Structure 1
Amino acid sequence: MEREEENKTGLWAHIKAYFQRVFDIHSDMMSYEAINEMMEENTVISGSNMWILIMAILIASIGLNVNSTAVIIGAMLISPLMSGILTMGYSLAVRDLDMLKKALGRFGTQVAISLVTSTLYFIITPLDVPTSEMIARTSPTIWDVMVALFGGIAGIIGNTRKKKGNVIPGVAIATALMPPLCTASYGIATLQPRFIFGALYLFLINMLFIALSAAAVTVILRVPVHRSLSQKGQKRINRIIGAITIIVVIPSVFVGAYTVYSSVMERNIQTYLNHEFVFENTQLVQSSTDTKSKQINVSLVGQTISQEVINRLEQELPVYNLEGYTLHVTQNSIAEADVDNADKITIALQENTISELQAQLEEQQKRLDELESSAAAKVDFNALAQKAESIFTVLSDCSCGITADESGEYIVLAASVQQELTDSEMQIMENWLKSESGIAQARLFLSE
């Protein structure tokens, strides 16, 4: 019995020692002196470093401008911004205020040069349409916080190893420091606050949480502090850092929560439609959701379903976690309903669309006088249509105008296209229309 206990104790000690060895963060670490020397070097401003930064920011700006992910990744690999942020976190952990000041000065200079260079590029470039790569950098969420946090941990661990490996380039790509600066510069060049503040917020998140994670790992590595602080002084610093962190994180939490909520609701609505709108002689041909009024609109063709069935469908909404939503059903019956008869379904759907458009036109006619006196009336639609054709070469026979519905006024572009456009290309055109006209909403009507 005693021997069995000894064997169990020995096995447990062996397993424990194995995992301690596997996760030992100190095993291949540089000496504390070497780490400190490296961090001191990261605070020095050199001409070569700044020229590399300028080239990287120009490459990133071009990549964003032409919507090239590969070019943007290349710029992030070249960028020297990461080392300065790691140094700020390190100096905070070892309580070296002189190093922190020098690191902040170097980093602030880098950021200023980046913004000026990129802004000049976007002022000069003839391509002034916001791309999907730019738009993606304007709405940071809690996931960006986590990426920056985990990236900073990986970055400081990799930076303190005797063999560097490819950790720093990978972290630079994952945390994306350069693209937000370029996107903010685009906003400055085109006077669009959404791009300025959204992108700078993403950059602030990346910078702050990389620095904080670097500071935390430095403490875990037990790097000797350079200056002793009183308990009161340390608590004061911790409170300041905590307050800044909370203030920065809160908006991203709300944006992330809204993103998750929207995704969940879209999935619930689609599940509801797929499960409930299954009828033998009736087909669901069109659906849409108005998230503001919480209304699900569906169009049916075929045999008319009764009001009792519609009431039952409404009662099923809470089962799919769609409490508060209402159901609006539009039906078109076709004689001798045959769901396989595409021509009949198409005709019925067109009749339904025409009736809905007539109702919309009546409402829009009431707002024509209001539109004539609005800022949108000052837009030169002919010039805007010609400019659209010159920028988007796939368009021809362009015409522009303005109309309105219950959600407000919006700019309209109708044109012929040589080929079907992707959702990303359509979004770029809509963003360009809104930017050029100064109108908050845009619609495209394209035909091949």
Structure 2
Amino acid sequence: MKTTLSDDINEIKGEITKTVSHGRVYNFFRKLFGIRDDMMDNAEIQQMMEDNTVISGSNMWILIMAIFIASIGLNVNSTAVIIGAMLISPLMSGILTMGYSLATFDLTLLRKAFTRFGIQVIISLIASTLYFAISPLNVATSEMIARTSPTLWDVLIALFGGIAGGIGNTRKKKSNVIPGVAIATALMPPLCTTGYGLATGQLRFIAGAFYLFAINALFIMLSAAFITKLMRIPTHKINDTKKERKIHRFVVLITILTIVPSVLIGSYKVYETVMKQNLLSYLDNSFTFSDTKVVQSQIDIMNREVSLSLVGTQLSDDVIAVLEKDLSNYGLENYKLNITQNKAVTADNSDQITIALQEQTIESLQKQLDEQEKNIKEQQKELDEIKSTAASLPDMKKLSEKAAAIFTEVSDIGCGIMTDSEGEYVLLCGTTKKALSADKQQTIKNWLKTETGASRAVLKITVK
């Protein structure tokens, strides 16, 4: 019997209706996306989380070694070494435990997990600060600088990473999810960069890097709490509803305070990227002169200025006015156009570009040289002041010998200049066979002040 196309369509519709009616589609997607099928028992999860709060010597030593490895990787700008340190680090388990205890309202477990995590953070900061304090390499690398400007994308990475970590951490069969989350969210590098900031006294690295670490830790914890709720793990009952609401309000407040700066920073970076793309479009479409080339372009977001350096045939004021007016067509309205035109030369365009670039390089190097000379002069001035101060001080060795020759009743004499809260004073130490009289002590003090010009003199004479 020959079937028509409409018969085939009706047959397919019937099959689809039959499948849906039997719940096969629902079961298929439930099995495909379900997160409870291969989940550990609730008791096993609870025990694992309890184990994560135990402070052990082995974990602390592993953490310290991971911190040193990450610090070295940052110091030598090695991405591979940094990734290795993130794989070793035991920080992730504590954060996931805090998220779990927050979702289940297990406040005792939350306190234990937070205490362990706080100790780990303090030890990490001490270890990284110690490393960078003794390291001969004290120049910030690109890996360090990259950890000082957290944005909204870091929040999203932490959220998605926390969800993946919360799911992977509760499976019967363990996978490489936790190490992957540790690499993606990068907990170790910003913590070590904070140590670099502490060791070198640079607030930018301290604030920026620790803020990134706080973002990662907080949003991994919150997303882990979210996934714990989805897994329908039983919660601990809190009889005090006011206390429960207080916890909710505190978590919401901390979340808002943490996310707002990252949103602002991220918005600025997006705006900066868009403006740079607009500038490239503007240059490609507006600067189509055959005898004039743009050799350098720069956009100043804060001052709203576009600076261009040209070589070749000089543009007239009328042409520049048209070019400035054309900025608004590329989203650069209210920006000022600054054009530097290099003098035309007889060489071809490639030679003109080379010369212009060399001139700009020389100018940039000259600015750096001037700044370095200024710093050298300031340091030389400080050194001269120190030398001048040192030269004005009396020779303590000669002063001790002279005092020993005059005050023969005092032996083992030593003199020196000391400083306390009241300022500088001259100190004489020595020993005698019997205590000196008050008049004799005053005589020695007056002599010391006369010889050194000090306003105060102190004696520390021991009777033997």
TM-score range, shorter chain: 0.7 to 0.9
1:316 to 2:342 alignment: no
Name stretches of at least 5 consecutive residues in structure 2 with no aligned partner: 1-6, 384-464
What residue number does 2:17 align with?
9
**Bigger CA drift: 277-286 or 21-30?**
277-286
User: Please, which of 302, 308, 327 is the counterpart of residue 298 of structure 1?
Assistant: 308
Tell me if the contact between 1:183 and 1:196 (Cα under 8 Å) persists in the aligned partners: yes
Query: By how many angstroms is 1:300 displaced?
Result: 2.8
- The separation in 1 between residues aligned to 2:106 and 2:308, in whole angstroms, is 64
Equivalent in the alignment of 1:172: 182
| TM-aligned CA distance change 1:132 to 1:162, over 3 Å | same
SS in structure 1 opposite 2:306? strand
The amino acid across from 2:276 in the alignment is E
Q: CA deviation at 1:168?
A: 0.4
Q: 1:45 aligns with which of 55, 66, 75?
A: 55
The question of whether the paired residues in 2 share the 8 Å contact of 1:57 and 1:114 is answered with yes
1:328 corresponds to which residue? 338
Q: 1:351 to 1:206 in 2, by over 3 A?
A: closer
State which of 248, 253, 256 in structure 2 corresponds to 1:243.
Answer: 253
**Could you tell me whether the CA contact under 8 Å between 2:296 and 2:308 is conserved in 1?**
yes
Q: Partners in 2 of 1:350 and 1:194 — Cα distance?
A: 33
Shift in Å at residue 147 of structure 1? 0.8
Q: Counterpart of 2:309 in 1: which secondary structure? A: strand
Distance 1:272 1:151, change over 3 A: same
Q: Secondary structure at the match of 1:330?
A: strand
Of the structure 1 ranges 81-90 and 271-280, higher mean CA displacement relative to structure 2 is found in 271-280
CA deviation after TM superposition for structure 1 residue 298, in Å: 2.2
Contact 2:295–2:356 under 8 Å retained in 1? no
Conservation of the 8 A alpha-carbon contact between 1:91 and 1:100: yes
After superposition, the C-alpha distances for 1:77-117 in whole angstroms (9 at most, x for unaligned) are 11111001111111111111111111111111111111112
Structure 1 residue aligned with 2:105, among 71, 74, 95? 95
Q: What TM-score, normalized to structure 2?
A: 0.73
Matched position secondary structure for 1:316? helix
Q: Secondary structure at the match of 1:184?
A: helix
Q: 2:210 aligns with which of 179, 200, 208?
A: 200
Partners of 2:119 and 2:235 lie apart in 1 by 27
Q: Alignment length, in residue pairs? A: 370
Cα contact 1:139–1:199 (8 A) shared by 2: yes
Change (3 A) 1:378 1:308: closer
TM-score, structure 1 as length reference: 0.75
User: Once the two structures are superposed, what CA deviation does each residue of 1:141-188 show, in whole Å capped at 9, x if it has no partner?
Assistant: 111111111111100100000011100000111111111111111111
Q: Distance in 2 between matches of 1:175 and 1:3?
A: 51
Match for residue 94 of structure 2 among 71, 84, 99: 84
**Superposed structure 1 runs of 4+ greater than 6 Å apart:** 1-5, 348-354
1:232 Cα offset (Å): 4.4
Question: How far did residue 64 of structure 1 move?
Answer: 1.2
Per-residue CA deviation, residues 14-56 of structure 1 (Å, 9 max, x unaligned), is 3332111100011110011110010010011111111111111
1:239-298 deviation line (CA, Å, top 9, x unaligned)? 211111000111111111111111111111111112110112322233333333322222
Structure 2 counterpart of 1:150, which letter? F
1:7–1:232 CA distance, 2 compared to 1 (3 A):
farther
Q: Structure 1 residues 272, 187: closer, same or farther in 2, change over 3 A?
A: same
Q: Secondary structure at the match of 2:338?
A: strand
Could you tell me how far apart the structure 2 residues matched to 1:145 and 1:333 are? 50
Corresponding residue number in structure 1 for 2:33? 23
Change (3 A) 1:303 1:124: closer
Moved more, 122-131 or 32-41: 122-131
CA RMSD in angstroms, aligned pairs only: 3.1
Q: Residue in 1 aligned with 2:151?
A: 141
Larger radius of gyration: 2
Task: Describe the SS at the equivalent of 1:266.
Answer: helix
Contact map agreement 1:332 1:352 (CA 8 A) in 2:
no
* 1:400 alignment partner in structure 2: none
Q: 2:142 aligns with which of 99, 112, 132?
A: 132
Q: What is the identity percentage for the equivalent residue pairs of Structure 1 and Structure 2?
A: 58
Aligned to 1:274: 284
Whole-angstrom distance in 1 between the partners of 2:357 and 2:260: 46
Q: Is the 8 A contact 1:114 1:181 kept in 2?
A: yes
Partner amino acid, structure 2, of 1:126 = P
Whether the 8 Å CA contact 1:282–1:301 is kept in 2: the answer is yes
- Amino acid in structure 2 at the alignment position of 1:141: T
The answer to whether residue 166 in structure 2 is matched with residue 156 in structure 1 is yes
Are the aligned partners of 1:334 and 1:348 in contact in 2 as well (CA < 8 Å)?
no
